[in-house]
Amino acid sequence: MCRLNPKVDLLFKKLFASPENKDLLISFINSMLSEHEQISDIELKNPYNIANYRKGKMTILDIKAVDEKGVWYDIEMQLAEQSFYDKRAFYY
């Protein structure tokens, strides 16, 4: 029996960032939202953020999406604690 680890970047993206698995992403997001904030639909967006200035840095998100209310989601799989993640998330 082959066991796949959903924490591996490629599998995580296949599970949650594929249009055919959109229901899994919605369920994942709703599990972290309060009952009155639940979403019913989400649109996956291009995860590549191209820098729009000369010394800018391109960033690639694990999942970038927007729900039917216009709320944007940046979902990242992190295996280790990163002291600088707050600055990185703000940059994204």
- pTM of the full structure: 0.75
C-alpha torsion angle, residues 43, 48, 52, 55 (rounded to 10): 150
Q: What is the mean pLDDT of the segment spanning 33-62?
A: 86
Q: Per-residue pLDDT tens for 16-39?
A: 999 999 999 999 999 999 999 999
Q: Are 29 and 39 in contact (CB under 8 A)?
A: yes
How is residue 80 written in tokens? 């280790």
Instruction: Band the pLDDT of 5: cuts 50, 70, 90.
Output: confident
